[in-house]
Chain A
Amino acid sequence: MTGIASSPPVREPSPPAPVVAAVDVVKTYGRGDAVVHALRGVNIGFARGGFTAIMGPSGSGKSTLMHCLAGLDTVTSGSVLLGGADLTRLDDRKLTLMRRERIGFIFQSFNLVPTLTARQNILFPLELAGRTPEAPWFDRIVDVLGLRERLDHRPSELSGGQQQRVACARALLSRPEVIFADEPTGNLDSVTGREVLELLRRSVRDLGQTIVMVTHDPVAAAFADRVVFLRDGLIVDEQLRPTADGVLDRLKRLENA
């Protein structure tokens, strides 16, 4: 696992080239006196097959960073590179195609389209792209996630954990370049949350999937290979092969600093 140093920014990402990278990303909201600097020049890369957790106190800009990396939000300056393209230079249509074909999402809640069954939800991005799912891959994911019995149920008929597993299956099925997970366990009880995190880790280890996860839970972060810490819109530290206790310590120091 090749890590990248925290700020001060590193100019050159180490090889192999990262799947996703932020270069000098600045994001400000509002104007004049009311201006909020959410990101103040972030440089970071995420290597293929890595599982990275982004952490930081509330208001540190971790969610904003993820939204910018995923092409959901625009940046004020800087660029976001994904698979060789600069997301900040794409128009809405190309950006939409990017999200559809090369990015997977798992949100904290409200992950699924309520009018579609679990199966339809899982197949959704592929169908949008007009691609046919590979049957063995679909079967494998469904079986690994234990969703076989629930495929024809609507989201309202699934438990929170099941809904989150459906979202994972959807993200994994299209083999995106990167999956962004925004507090994927935030709404789950600890046992179910653990299941989902195991699943994400396994998909990285066994399937070579790249995952970037935003979380505020040190236990969740400990499932990642690498933890990046943000404060006040800047990357301030990172840990490789984190433990929950180590992360917690670091967070406490960040908050008290």
Chain B
Amino acid sequence: MIRIVLSRLGAQRGRLLLTVVAVVLGVGFISGTFALGDLMRAGFAREFAASADKVDVAVLPKGDGERLPAGMLEKIRALPGVTDARGLVRAEAPLLGRDGRTHGHVPTQGFSLPTDGPLRRYTVLEGRVPAAPDEAVLNESLAEDTGFRPGESIQVLDAKERRHTFRLVGVVDVGIDAELTSRGGVGFLAETAVRMTGQKDYVEIDVAGSVTPAQVGAAIGGTGHEVVTGEELSSRLSSEAGADITMITTGLLAFGLISLLVAGLVIANTFTILVAQRAKELALLRCLGATRRQVFGAVVVEAALVGLVGSLVGLAVGLALAAGGAAAVNALGMDVPVEVSLSLRTVAIALSVGLVMTVLSALPPGFRATKVAPLAALRTEPEPGERAFRLGRARWALAAPSAVGGLALTVIGMRMEPGETAMFTVAGGGALTFLAVVALMPLLVRAFGLPTGGRLGRRLGLPGRLAVQNVRRSPRRTAATTVALTVGVGLMSLFAVVGASSKATADQKMFEQFPIDYRLHTGVTGRTIPRGVADGLRERDDLFSAVTSIRSVDAEFGANERMVASMTQGSLGIVAKPEMKHGSLEDLRPGTVMISEGYALRDGLAMGDAVPLKTEHGTVRVTVSVVYAGEAGMLPDILLPEADFTRYFGQVEDLDVYVNLQKGVPVSEANDVIDTAVADHPRVQVSTGAAMKAEFAKAIDMLIGIFAGLLGLAIIIALFGIVNTLTLSVVERTRESALLRALGVSRRQLRGMLSAEAVIMSLLGAVTGVLLGTVFGWAATRSLFTSFVFALPYGQILLYLALAVVAGLLAAVLPARRAAHAPIVESLSAD
């Protein structure tokens, strides 16, 4: 039996090739994800091991944000056997960009750089390490972002916001230090680092020499810190980094599973078609004495071999993908050594995933193969795909409850209080509905041909009508082919709808309810803008129609500590136009408070509640008199009247300042005035409303772009499915094509017919996906937030459909060529 399987595999190499491709792509994604994780972990481990070589003992503070007192270092240095000990200083030291403002949203870190001795830690990429108090280095990512080169002067703020000028002498690689890589780091001599950051305590003390952690621990005494060996330090750091890797690979894996699901659909469909085409051959085997079991085994063994070959190639593809993935992760701002490594685990996962998926997909067709009666070998076959179609009981049994359950869950989810639970309910509903659509897809395919009887049919011409009939002739096969595409396109449409809706919501929430032209802020929690800045701007009422100060304190409000805020009284209703749930802005009188609906729900507050508020002068009770709709956007959750706030908490500095322009004033003049006002406060960042809007849109677009890229593979696999189905159909219809050619169908028309078939299939899949994605995108956004604005990304959706048409045309190229160039006479007598 095995010999028959093998000989058949050889004979059908062409037909199985596309199946192998589907396995390769699915397995490639999964194994690529694992290999990426492996190579990142391996790279990190190697790097840590290298630095751990130098450190014999390390002292770390216990708890987040804690530091080691400076005096500790002297005690350690005094220990016999210690050859070197360094305290690492690290705290905020904002680098100023070329525009004289602090670089980035989050200020850069200043850090001490051991420049000599065994504990020299960082690799110099360019230039050298600082040797004098007025010299500094940048880490690689910061040098890239700012464009500063060694030899230039840079300015850095100290803890008291005074500017200091340094000469940039080099660029260093800080390795996998996530904090320095993401925020950017400026390296100084140890003393300079202390002076700049105002922080003389250490985040870590590294010790070199022949001492044990116990000896070091005994020497420094006390608690609040832990002493570890160099190896422990490195494994701890690498497991921290490993958590990031796990997060990345888990995310990738989710998309990998989607690809795998689609590949499974394609493979199941291919085997189903192959079994149908081979019914006669299988029947002959049965005639010759093969048992049902052997026939079943033949199909499954064949699938296993296909799965094995596909998995092996997929593994190789995966390794290549991982190298590319590492490069992509680096492009996103991480620093990962790109070096492919192959772990036994990745090999095992790739092979078993590929094998299990392929064999599972081949089980139903294999089972069907056993139902072929031996007599079928002797009968002339009916015309392909011409058996009457009826939706099987199994399909109804799957479709009916899924459809009912899915729609019910969706409706329930949308009637629930908006939030995560509601969204997950809707998501569950979406998944069930998708299942129902999968089961009912053959009916849709059947129904699809109906309108072509009329005018549309005449429009399409004869080849077009034949194409429609061909698509409809085996509804199950067409359905299975198109559903694979529905998965990818559906998810992509879903993300596009959610993204477009987020943008529209942000537009409305932030930019319509909060129409501001400039926002002044520091980018750091707790850091404020001196009141003088806003006061100065208020004097220029020829330029500015409103200058709004937001001030806040953390205070006990009700049972919890909350951020309690105020806003310049005159700006309410003009600069901030929140949608009201209960009450109106006039109701915000002394002794009352306005809260967001989201906060009211979370803390169980309602209109008229008198909430205790702990102030500087004791606890007062404030009455909830206004509830505004939605969650906090740019408006604080808890807003007190400005006069009350000042009375309760005194002269608090501004957290944010919003500036609105008078109509018709020159923007350049306003820019100049604002620049001058913040010139002495380099930490204050100025962003324009337009820039904020663009930035938000860009962030969303990038997210959608990443999702689209990751879903792209699932879509490509589905397209291979279309090529596969079409190729097998062409083989199956060899005689029919020859008949058409004999009757006067030109090669062009034949190619046109097959292209039309492919386009119809891909459009069926894409349109179903777009519809499902749009509906559930809408439901999901509605269930997540109360006042979500729904937006349909027409452009993107039209693009998806246009791409589906193009993809269909591409999918048809090879099968159509094959059909058009088949010799007529031989094909007419083909079996």
A residues whose Cβ falls under 8 Å from a Cβ of B:
67, 70, 72-73, 92-93, 96-97, 99-101, 105, 107, 110-116, 124-125, 127-129, 154-156, 170
With A72-B825, A156-B386 as contacts: A115 and B741 at CB distance below 8 Å: no
Binary interface encoding of chain B residues 501-521 relative to chain A, with 1 for a CB under 8 A from any of its CBs, else 0: 000000000000000000000
Tally of contact residues, B, Cβ under 8 A: 28
Asked if A125 contacts B743 (CB within 8 A), the reply is: yes
Which residues in A have their C-beta under 8 angstroms from that of B824?
Answer: 72-73
Query: Are A110 and B736 closer than 8 Å at their CB atoms?
Result: yes
Looking at chain B's contact residues, the main secondary structure is helix
Task: Report A-chain residues with C-beta under 8 Å of the C-beta of B823.
Answer: 73
- Interface residue B72 (Cβ < 8 Å from any Cβ of A): no
> A31: shortest Cβ distance to chain B, in Å?
17
In the complex, which of the residues A96, A101, A112, A127 contacts B741, with contact meaning CB atoms closer than 8 Å? A96
Pairs A-B, 3 closest by C-beta atoms: A100-B744, A115-B469, A114-B383
Q: With both chains docked as a complex, state the minimum distance between the C-beta of A155 and any C-beta of chain B, in angstroms.
A: 6
| Nearest A-chain residue to B461, judged by Cβ | A127
Q: Is the CB of A114 within 8 A of B742?
A: no
A-B contact pairs, 21 of them (CB 8 A): A67-B825, A92-B747, A93-B748, A96-B745, A96-B746, A105-B743, A107-B739, A110-B735, A111-B739, A113-B740, A114-B383, A114-B384, A114-B473, A115-B470, A115-B473, A116-B469, A124-B462, A127-B462, A128-B744, A155-B383, A156-B382
Which of B383, B466, B472 is the one whose CB lies under 8 Å from A156? Answer: B383
Q: Are B742 and A105 in contact (CB under 8 A)?
A: yes
* A99-B744 in contact given A72-B824, A114-B386, A115-B469 (Cβ < 8 Å): yes
Shortest Cβ distance from B741 into A: residue: A96
Q: How far in angstroms is the closest Cβ of chain B from A161?
A: 15
User: Using an 8 Å CB-CB cutoff, how does the interface string of B470-494 with A read, 1 for contact, 0 for none?
Assistant: 1011000000000000000000000
Known: A67-B825, A73-B824. A113 touches B744 (CB 8 A): no
Q: How far is the CA of A156 from the CA of B382 in the complex (A)?
A: 7
Give Cα A105–Cα B743 distance, bound, in whole angstroms.
Answer: 7
Q: B828 within 8 Å of A by Cβ?
A: yes
A99 touching B466, Cβ below 8 Å: no
Report chain B residues within 8 Å CB of A155. 383, 386
Whether the Cβ atoms of A99 and B462 lie closer than 8 Å is no
Q: Which residues of A contact B747 (CB under 8 A)?
A: 92-93, 96
Q: Considering only CB atoms, which chain A residue lies closest to B824 in the complex?
A: A72
From residue 712 to 760 of chain B, which have CB atoms closer than 8 A to chain A? 735-736, 739-749
Closest approach, in angstroms, between the C-beta of A125 and any C-beta of chain B? 5
Residues in B lying within 8 Å of A, measured CB to CB = 382-386, 462, 466, 469-470, 472-473, 735-736, 739-749, 823-825, 828
Per the bound structure, the CA–CA distance linking A184 and B64 in Å amounts to: 91
Cα separation A127 to B384 with both chains bound (whole Å): 24
Closest chain B residue to A111, Cβ basis: B739
Give the residue of A97, A100, A113 whose beta carbon is less than 8 angstroms from that of B739: A113
Complex: A76 Cα to B473 Cα, angstroms: 40
Chain B residues contacting A154 (CB-CB under 8 Å) are 386
Which residues of the other chain, A, contact B746 by a CB distance below 8 angstroms?
Answer: 92-93, 96-97
Question: Does B739 lie within 8 Å of A110, measured CB to CB?
Answer: yes
A125 engages B744 (CB within 8 Å): yes
Cα distance, A92 to B741, chains bound together (Å)? 10
Q: Is the interface of A mostly helix, strand, loop or mixed?
A: helix
- Chain A hits for B462, CB < 8 A: 124, 127-128
Whole-angstrom distance from the CB of A156 to the nearest CB of chain B? 4
Task: Report the bound CA distance from A128 to B749 in whole Å.
Answer: 10
Please name all residues of chain B whose beta carbon is closer than 8 Å to the beta carbon of A156 when the two chains form the complex: 382-383, 386
Q: CA separation between A125 and B744, bound complex, in Å? A: 7
Alpha-carbon separation in the docked complex, A110 to B734 (Å): 11
Selected from A73, A96, A111, A115, the residue in CB contact (under 8 A) with B744 is: A96
Known contacts A72-B825, A113-B736, A115-B470; is-contact A100 B743 (Cβ 8 Å): yes
CB neighbours (8 Å) of B383 from chain A are 114, 155-156
Tell me whether A107 and B828 are in contact (CB under 8 A).
yes
Inter-chain contacts of A101 with B (CB < 8 A): 744
Q: Give the shortest distance, in Å, between B39 (CB) and chain A (any CB).
A: 53
A97 to B382, CA, bound (A): 30
Minimum CB–CB distance for B459 against chain A, Å = 14
Looking at A100, A112, A155, the one whose CB has the most chain B CB atoms below 10 A away is: A100
Most buried by A among B384, B385, B739: B739
In whole angstroms, how far apart are the Cα atoms of A107 and B746 in the complex? Answer: 19
Which of B382, B462, B736, B748: most chain A CB closer than 10 A? B462
Q: Which residues of A contact B384 (CB under 8 A)?
A: 114
Instruction: Give every chain B residue within 8 A of A116 (Cβ-Cβ).
Output: 466, 469
The answer on a CB contact under 8 Å between B825 and A73 is yes
How many angstroms between the C-alpha atoms of A67 and B466 in the bound complex? 26
A67 vs B825: C-alpha distance when bound (angstroms): 7
Closest to B749 in A: A128
* Smallest CB gap from A123: residue in B: B462
The residues of B that contact A124 with a CB separation of less than 8 Å are: 462, 743
CA distance A156 to B385 in the complex (A): 10
CB distance from B754 to the nearest CB of A (A): 14
Could you say which residues of chain A place their CB within 8 Å of the CB of B472? Answer: 115
Most buried by B among A67, A72, A129: A72
Chain A residue with Cβ nearest B469: A115
How far is it, in angstroms, between the C-alpha of A127 and the C-alpha of B464 when the chains are bound? 12
Bound-state Cα–Cα, A128 to B736, Å: 16
Q: What is the CA–CA distance of A105 and B469 in the complex, to the nearest angstrom?
A: 23
Return the chain A residue nearest B383 by Cβ.
A114
**Residues from chain A with Cβ under 8 Å of B825 in the complex:** 67, 72-73
**Residues of B contacting A97 in the complex (Cβ-Cβ under 8 angstroms):** 744, 746
Known contacts A73-B825, A155-B383; 8 additional CB pairs below 8 A are A67-B825, A96-B744, A99-B743, A100-B745, A113-B740, A114-B473, A115-B466, A155-B386
Q: A114-B383, A154-B386, A155-B383 are contacts. A72–B743 as well, Cβ < 8 Å?
A: no
The CB with the most chain A CB atoms within 10 A, among B386, B473, B742, B825, is that of B742
CA–CA, A167 and B749, complex, Å:
21
Nearest CB on A from B753, distance (A): 11
Residues in B with CB closer than 8 Å to A127 are 462
In the bound complex, residues from chain A placing their C-beta under 8 Å from that of B740 are: 113
Cα distance A111–B738 when bound, in Å?
A: 10
**Nearest CB on B from A151, distance (A):** 15
A99 B473 Cβ-Cβ under 8 A: no
Assess the B739–A129 pair: CB atoms within 8 A: no
Question: B30 to nearest A CB, angstroms?
Answer: 40
Across the interface, which residues of B come within 8 angstroms of A125, CB to CB?
A: 743-744
Question: A124 CA to B469 CA in the complex, in Å?
Answer: 14
Q: A113 to chain B: which residues have CB within 8 Å?
A: 466, 736, 739-740
Q: Which of A107, A113, A124, A127 has the most CB of B within 10 A?
A: A113
CB-defined contacts of A72 to chain B, threshold 8 Å: 742, 824-825, 828
CA distance A117 to B385 in the complex (A): 15
Q: What's the Cα separation between A128 and B745 when bound, in Å?
A: 7
Which residues of chain A are within 8 angstroms of B748 by Cβ–Cβ distance? 93
Minimum CB distance partner of A94 in chain B: B746
Look across to chain B and name the residue whose beta carbon is closest to the beta carbon of A187: B380
B474 CB to closest chain A CB (Å) equals 11
- Select from chain B the residue with minimum beta-carbon distance to A67: B825
Residue of B nearest to A156 (CB): B386
Q: Which residue of A lies closest to B830 (CB)?
A: A110
* Cα separation A5 to B382 with both chains bound (whole Å): 44
A residues less than 8 Å from B469 (CB atoms): 115-116
Complex Cα gap A72–B739 (Å): 10
Smallest CB–CB gap between B744 and chain A, Å? Answer: 2
**Smallest beta-carbon distance B505→chain A, Å:** 49
Q: Determine the chain B residues whose CB is within 8 A of the CB of A100 once the complex forms.
A: 743-745
CA distance A100 to B747 in the complex (A): 13
B739 surroundings in chain A (CB, below 8 A)? 107, 110-113
- Docked CA distance A130–B469 (Å): 20
Residues of A within 8 A of B741 (CB): 96
When chains A and B are docked, how far (Å) is the Cα of A124 from the Cα of B748?
17
> Taking CB as reference atom, which chain A residue is nearest B472?
A115
CB distance from A30 to the nearest CB of B (A): 14
**B744–A129 CB distance below 8 A:** yes
